């Protein structure tokens, strides 16, 4: 039952997406950029490092704020 529904939704999506990608150069460029970015290992490493540094900075900021509240 759900399989038939999902197949119908998928076919509807591709029936709409393929003509849009055929006609729109902007959409083709976006899809190409996302595809290349998704498969770029160095970019993934850079994003993971950026995320780790951001989370670390947030944690340090929360710790400093908590300490200032306790001291004051």
Mean pLDDT by 10 residues, the chain (72 residues): 89 90 87 88 93 97 95 84
Report field, pTM of the whole predicted structure over 0.75:
no
Q: Which residues of 18-35 are buried (b: 16+ CB within 10 A; e: fewer)?
A: eeeeeeeeeeeeeeeeee
- The pLDDT score that the predictor gives to residue 60 is 97
CA–CA dist 40, 36 (Å, integer) = 6
């Amino acid at each position: 039952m759900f399989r038939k529904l999902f197949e119908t939704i998928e076919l509807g999506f591709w029936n709409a997406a393929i003509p849009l990608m055929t006609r729109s150069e902007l959409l083709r460029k976006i899809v190409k950029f996302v595809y290349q970015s998704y498969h770029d290992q160095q970019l993934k490493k850079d994003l993971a490092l950026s995320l780790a540094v951001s989370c670390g900075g947030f944690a340090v900021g929360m710790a400093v704020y908590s300490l200032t509240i306790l001291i004051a």
